[in-house]
Amino acid sequence: MIERFSGDATLIGLTDDELDGALGLVRTVDSQRVPTVAGLLLIGKESALRDHLPTHEVAFQVLDGTDVRVNDFYRTPLLTTFERIMEQFEARIEEEEMQWGLFRVAIPTYDRRAFREALVNAIVHRDYSVLGTVFIRLQGNTLSISNPGGFVEGVTLDNLLVVEPKPRNPALADAIKRIGLAERTGRGVDLIFQGLLRYGRPEPDYSGSNASTVQVILSSTEADLPFLKMIIEEENRTQSSISLDALIILSRLRTTRRIDVATVAQAIQKPEAQARAILERLVKIGLIEPHGIKRGRTYILSAETYRDLGQSANYIRQAGFNSIQQEQMVIQFAQKHGRVTRKDVMELCRLSKDQSAHLLRKLATENKLTLHGKGRGSFYVLP
């Protein structure tokens, strides 16, 4: 497994005793070498697991509506369980191959690395002190993975992307990483997100998690091929993988069409200053473009990006009207209704509060409108 999953190559040449020590599978008590919890879980005999860790159980289920097509339960050591679950997964994954010029890309129903990380997270971070089963369920176009025990201390839905990982059993987590089954940096959650977002699929859904369970749902909805092509071409251009933050922003813009700094900061779980810097980087490379100034500044996909996605008409809708058109619309509104307010301009031209106020002041300075009143009760009329 170390060879297959590109684990720590220095482990391969060790003797059994050396390997047990290097991976923390045993410890010395009164001059006797005895298994650790990590050792029992990884390579312990099933009889030993039943006696000492009876809470260990993993289920793989395939549901067709209310019918259960597959319902396999495993109480084998984790390395064996991992292999069997991966075999079950591979037998049911479907893959389509696409080619764009020199690029040949396989598009699986579920990204293998994303599934592997989600599976490893469930079996490594579950709470083995409580009864319960790790469930892997395939149903329709969703795959859910749940494990007993809530998030470890310090981890919440609001910091999942940025918090430093704190495993319940550090020895078990370290051994899994060195074998190669999990991301060595501890940022497996990033791989889960990337494995869905790059295909234009929804973000992994952790909302079903609570104090006693962690659940993640992965979607296999149809891939957005133009979006995937755009990501691959950008990565080829820069010769580097696109960042998760950028993927989250681009993915959100596919659905919400327009986004501001505060929304981005919440989505990537980072301060607004960092969110703004990432947005401006995406502007610089031409993937998105800004509209408005200061607090009213929003961002949309660029004209070139919409063209690459085959949605040029959507760019026109999102970019809105140019300044001359906006001025004409405001003046026509004032002619028809006798007056126009900042709120009217916000709804009419799809501008922020600050942008609407700026446009009205400009028209007043040019003597195209006249201000009446002050504060919230103010309005503009034709001269």
Is 323-381 CATH 1.10.10.10?
Answer: yes
- Which tens digit of pLDDT belongs to each residue from 248-279? 999 999 988 888 999 999 999 999 999 999 99
- Which tens digit of pLDDT belongs to each residue from 48-82? 999 999 999 999 999 998 899 999 999 999 999 99
pTM of the model: 0.82
Q: Which fold has domain 239-319?
A: Arc Repressor Mutant, subunit A (1.10.10)
**Conformation bin of residue 285: beta by default, left when phi > 0, alpha when psi is -120 to 50:** alpha
Percentage of residues of the chain with pLDDT beyond 90: 74
User: Domain locations in the chain?
Assistant: 45-219, 239-319, 323-381
- Which tens digit of pLDDT belongs to each residue from 165-223? 788 899 999 999 999 998 877 678 999 999 999 999 999 999 999 999 999 999 999 99
Question: Is the fold of 45-219 the same as that of 323-381?
Answer: no
Q: How far apart are CA 223 and CA 214, in angstroms?
A: 26
- Of 181, 203, 214, nearest to 247 by C-alpha is 203
Residue 319 has pLDDT above 90, yes or no: no
Which of helix, strand or coil describes residue 109? Answer: coil
**What one-character-per-residue DSSP string does 226-247 give?**
HHHHHHHHHHHHHTSPPPHHHH
Say which amino acid occupies 211.
A
Choose between 296 and 215: higher pLDDT. 215
pLDDT at residue number 292? 73
**Which residues 6+ apart lie within 8 Å of 319 measured at CB?**
289, 291, 300, 303
pLDDT-derived band of residue 322, with 50, 70 and 90 as boundaries? Answer: low
- Of 213, 218, 285, 221, nearest to 249 by C-alpha is 285
Residue 121 has pLDDT above 60, yes or no: yes
Decide if 115 contacts 196 (C-beta within 8 A): no
Q: Describe the strand order of the beta sheet including 142-148 as a list of residue ranges.
A: 67-74, 58-64, 134-139, 142-148, 213-219
For domain 45-219, give its CATH number from 3.30.565.60, 3.30.450.40, 3.20.20.220, 2.60.120.330.
3.30.565.60
pLDDT at residue number 323? 67
pLDDT at residue number 320? 61
Q: How far apart are CA 232 and CA 244, in angstroms?
A: 14
Mean confidence (pLDDT) of the chain: 91
Q: Lowest mean pLDDT: which of 151-155, 353-357, 367-371? A: 353-357
pLDDT-derived band of residue 85, with 50, 70 and 90 as boundaries? Answer: very high
* CA angle centred on 330, ends 325 and 336, rounded to 5°: 125
235-240, long-range: CB < 8 A, 24+ apart? 236/103
- Phi then psi for residue 93, to 5 deg, are -80, 140
> Helix 244-256 to helix 261-268 angle, to the nearest 10 degrees?
130
